[in-house]
Amino acid sequence: MTSQYRVNYHLRAHKRDNLIEFIKGMLLTPFVLHSQPAPAQLPDGTREDNSSSGDDDSRSSPEEEANAERYAGIFSNIELLINEHRELMQHGIPSYSRLARLVPSIGTFFTALPLEQAFRHINKQNKISARKYVPPSFNDIRRILNIAQVMAIAEGLQLVTFDGDMTLYADGQNFEPDSELTGLLIGLLQRRISVAIVTAAGYGADAARYEQRLAGLLRGFADAGLSAAEVGRFYVLGGECNFLFRCRADYRLEFLEDSQYTSSALRSWTDAQVQQLLDVAEAELADCVQRMGIRARILRKPRAVGLVPSETLTREQLDECALSSQVALLKFQGSPKSQPCDVPIPFCAFNGGGDCWVDIGNKLIGVRIMQELVASPPAATLHVGDQFLSTGNDISTRAACCTCWIVNPEETQGMLTELDAILDQKQKHSD
């Protein structure tokens, strides 16, 4: 395998999720072999269709039901592959699993995933099995994986961490006062589930800046009259993992010094090392600006450096900046073949959608800080975010906890609504 091939492969791979691509490939076979073309139109304008009888047009046809069973069977078999992989993980030999051989980059599953049940749930809503021209897509499978994860983790859930932009609110905007997410987040806190916003936004120890971004949510806490214990379960962790705040009884954010929680083992770097690394990142971003002719300014912060364009950039331009910075920092730390999480000073170089940032630390560390703080194990922790490609800043959390990959705040609302319904149902059964 030549060096040029590896480069080209990397540039393709950063836009893919290998597990989703594997599942998509498995579902393509029944779609190709069994999906039927639309029935022919007869001269009198009616359609030749003997697949169903009766007046209820909403009922599934036998062909659709058969196709749904084929899809469900595939998801059931993938469940078995995941279960085998988890079992071998417990024995310390996950690479021997069939799933690891089929998807070599597969990571850790902290819970089982009821994929067949999740597919049937989604299919009832979206009629995936009824489609004749559009096969099950990346987004279909992503949503099924999300619902399966929610179903699996609901009963033992202790901590939910959220990305900010494009997860709880629009990119670069603030949490809206009338957001439907407010009631759903309040519901989690009232169920004794800790909630943390783990965001790249880094304003140092300036609580007022974070309060401004989250004013709508904090006002919702006050309007709901949440108790001190309930709001005390709400946290904000800024700069990926660098600045921790907790909500007080007066619905204001309080900055927590490092000495107030365990973080030294997770963040052992010195300020001199941080600045040296940021110098390298700043130089690389400046080089990207020069060689691609980008109109942008380089913004330096205490633990981050970013490229903020004055014009709209393409996704490919932002990906180039993120990947260039990532490679430069790995080379600088003497580990060009490592991952950003596996070097002396972990970092995150990511495409922010409209800009590009390099942060010291990452959300993997951020989630682990929160897990230690509230004593939540990986199987009881859920991270929700929109940046799970290799140029995103949520992907590292997969090594620490369960995850849900959403693409906008509306999907977050839908996912939390499903979670709320499951929790309600379990509570009724326990009463």
Positions marked catalytic:
163, 165
What residue has token string 């800043």? Answer: 393
Amino acid (one-letter) located at 416: L
Return the C-alpha torsion angle 205, 207, 212, 214, nearest 10.
Answer: 100
**273 exposure class (CB count in 10 Å sphere: 0-12, 13-18, 19+):** middle
How far apart are alpha carbons 255 and 168 in whole angstroms? Answer: 21
Tokens representing residue 428 in the block: 């009724």
Return the C-alpha torsion angle 357, 210, 271, 401, nearest 10.
Answer: -70
Collapsing DSSP to helix, strand or coil, 354 comes out as coil
How far apart are alpha carbons 206 and 331 in whole angstroms? Answer: 33
Cα dist from 407 to 143, 154, 259, 421, whole Å? 10, 21, 36, 21
Tokens representing residue 115 in the block: 């994929």
For 173-177, which contacts have Cβ atoms below 8 Å and span 24 or more sequence positions? 174/212, 174/213, 174/214, 174/215, 174/216, 175/213, 175/214, 175/215, 175/216, 175/217, 176/216, 177/215, 177/216, 177/219, 177/220
- The values of phi and psi at residue 50, to 5°, are -110, 15
No. of helices (H) and no. of strands (E), the chain: 14, 11
C-beta of residue 112 within 8 angstroms of C-beta of residue 148: no
Name which of 8, 7, 15 is nearest 390 in CA terms.
15
C-beta of residue 404 within 8 angstroms of C-beta of residue 152: no
**404 exposure class (CB count in 10 Å sphere: 0-12, 13-18, 19+):** buried
Q: How many CA atoms lie within 13 A of 251 on its CB side?
A: 16
Which residues lie across from 244 on neighbouring strands?
A: 237, 256
C-beta of residue 67 within 8 angstroms of C-beta of residue 35: yes
